[in-house]
Amino acid sequence: MALPKRNRRKVIVNGIVYHWSKGSRGENGRGVATVQHASGVGAKLMIDPIGTIIYDDIPNAIMFALKHGWHPLESGPPFWIGFKSNAISYCSFVLRTATDVPYWKDPNQNML
């Protein structure tokens, strides 16, 4: 199912068009960004943020996910990644799951 048109944004990475939107998930209220191939088919990429997700984060997140096994045109469960920490390093990501605790509640956050 394609992302809703409302609040959907477009980003191009390596000549491929993706759509993304910000949203929230579950009872813990963490905001996530959802990315999907512009065709509207295939597995979604879910980005678990540290703070506010901005446009400049999205291309880097897509490239990280592609390098780590996300196949945007193949059907399957969402592929989760998150920011590594709130360190100064620009756009560092880590693989996550839908059930991981938010980074600020993770006792291992300094080790990620």
| Chain center to CA of 28 | 17
Q: Containing domain of residue 98, as a range? A: 9-111
pLDDT per residue of the chain (112 residues) written in tens, 0 to 9: 678 778 889 999 999 999 999 876 544 456 788 999 999 999 999 988 777 788 888 999 999 999 999 999 999 999 999 877 655 445 577 787 777 766 555 555 554 4
Residue 63 lies in a domain: yes
- Amino acid letter, residue 7: N
Q: Specify the number of domains making up the chain.
A: 1
Residue 103 lies inside a defined structural domain of this protein: yes
pTM above 0.75, yes or no: yes
For residue 1, is it within any domain? no
Q: Is the residue at 104 inside a domain? A: yes
Instruction: Determine, yes or no, domain membership for 3.
Output: no
